């Protein structure tokens, strides 16, 4: 099968288009014929070796955790799925080796769900990691109807999903972003505020009594702004700063594969409550360019690779 792989850590130039054996399928896995995969910031961090102390690596590594495709073959005990099912998923395994930037990926059924019916394969591939991250931080923080939620980095890949999911739950959402993304955030259902020294005052102008929940997907001053803005008894969750847990008594979240959560996301998408923003689509052979595009600070929406 055609695949993108790298045999050593490095920049995007270590990515090569190669021919690899079709992966074996374990008893609780299925073989997915990949239609599309997407790039996440963690992909280039893994590629450059930043997670080497956290996860075992077997070279050559096929990168990618997000996937959308069709079940080609089922394992010995996989009653959840059948050949021909259209699926999407966050195929993160226990070690780095067989990812989704390939014609086929062996995926444990716990990492997959049926693809949202209203999305193309390219759009569906843009959802799993970012969408699950947003969904699981919202679950952990206990976001519910009537609350006021502050989302840091609200225009980012995860933040956009968080804004929409929180709004779908009936929460009022305030989102931090650069001025160029304010109109976009408003369209997603958030009240935008700018980063910078005046952030606390700007949020206070919108929510004089403070906020009930802080969701952090990227800010330079999580502790200071949270202590200034979070109401007594409120909750905070972060994917980037352990101080949310260690100093603020909240949650530090590392996203997990979850079929039920993928199913919940699909329901929100098919109901029109969450939309998916794809920035650019590349062919598999251009995976290096896709990685470079994803690393750009100016891209909005997900970068997708069509297989």
- Whether the ω angle into residue 200 lies within 30 degrees of 0, i.e. cis, is no
Distance CA 266, CA 115 (A): 7
Q: Give the domain ranges of the chain.
A: 2-119+276-306, 130-252
Phi, then psi, of 247 in degrees rounded to 5: -110, -25
Identify the CATH assignment for 2-119+276-306 out of 3.90.180.10, 3.90.660.10, 1.10.10.10, 1.10.420.10.
Answer: 3.90.180.10
The yes or no reply on domain 130-252 and CATH 3.90.180.10 is yes
Distance CA 300, CA 241 (A): 22
Please give the pLDDT value at position 299: 65
Please give the pLDDT value at position 300: 75
Mean pLDDT by 10 residues, the chain (307 residues): 97 97 97 97 93 92 98 97 98 94 98 98 98 98 98 95 98 96 95 93 97 96 96 97 97 98 98 96 96 78 94
Please give the pLDDT value at position 301: 83
Provide the token pair at 97: 């080796």
Q: How many CB atoms lie within 10 A of CB 53?
A: 6
Domains 2-119+276-306 and 130-252 alike in fold: yes
Please give the pLDDT value at position 296: 76
CA separation, residue 297 to residues 15, 168, 211 (Å)? 21, 28, 28
**Nearest in space to 269 (alpha carbons), one of 92, 125, 85:** 125
């Amino acid at each position: 099968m055609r695949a993108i792989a790298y045999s050593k850590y490095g920049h995007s130039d270590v990515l090569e288009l190669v021919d690899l054996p079709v992966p074996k399928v374990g008893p609780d896995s299925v073989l997915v014929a990949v239609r599309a995969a997407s790039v996440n910031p963690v992909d280039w961090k893994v590629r450059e070796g930043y997670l080497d102390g956290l996860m075992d690596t077997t070279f050559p590594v096929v990168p990618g955790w997000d996937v959308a495709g069709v079940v080609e073959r089922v394992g010995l005990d996989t009653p959840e799925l059948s050949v021909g099912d259209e699926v999407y998923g966050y195929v993160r395994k226990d070690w780095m080796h067989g990812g989704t930037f390939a014609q086929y990926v062996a995926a444990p059924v716990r990492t997959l769900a049926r693809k949202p019916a209203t999305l193309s394969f390219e759009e569906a591939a843009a959802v799993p990691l970012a969408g699950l991250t947003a969904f699981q931080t919202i679950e952990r923080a206990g976001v519910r109807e009537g609350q006021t939620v502050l989302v840091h980095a609200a225009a980012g890949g995860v933040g956009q999903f968080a804004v929409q999911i929180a709004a779908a739950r009936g929460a009022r959402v305030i989102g931090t972003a650069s001025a160029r993304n304010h109109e976009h955030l408003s369209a997603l259902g958030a009240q935008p505020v700018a980063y910078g020294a005046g952030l606390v005052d700007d949020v206070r102008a919108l929510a004089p009594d403070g906020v009930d929940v802080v969701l952090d997907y990227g800010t330079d001053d999580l502790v200071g702004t949270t202590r200034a803005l979070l109401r007594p008894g409120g909750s905070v969750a972060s994917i980037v700063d352990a101080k949310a847990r260690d100093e603020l008594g909240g949650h530090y979240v590392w996203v997990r594969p979850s079929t039920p959560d993928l199913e919940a996301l699909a329901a929100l998408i098919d109901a029109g409550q969450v939309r998916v923003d794809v920035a650019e689509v590349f062919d598999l052979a251009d995976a290096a360019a896709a990685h470079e595009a994803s690393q750009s600070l100016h891209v909005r929406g997900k970068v997708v690779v069509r297989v």
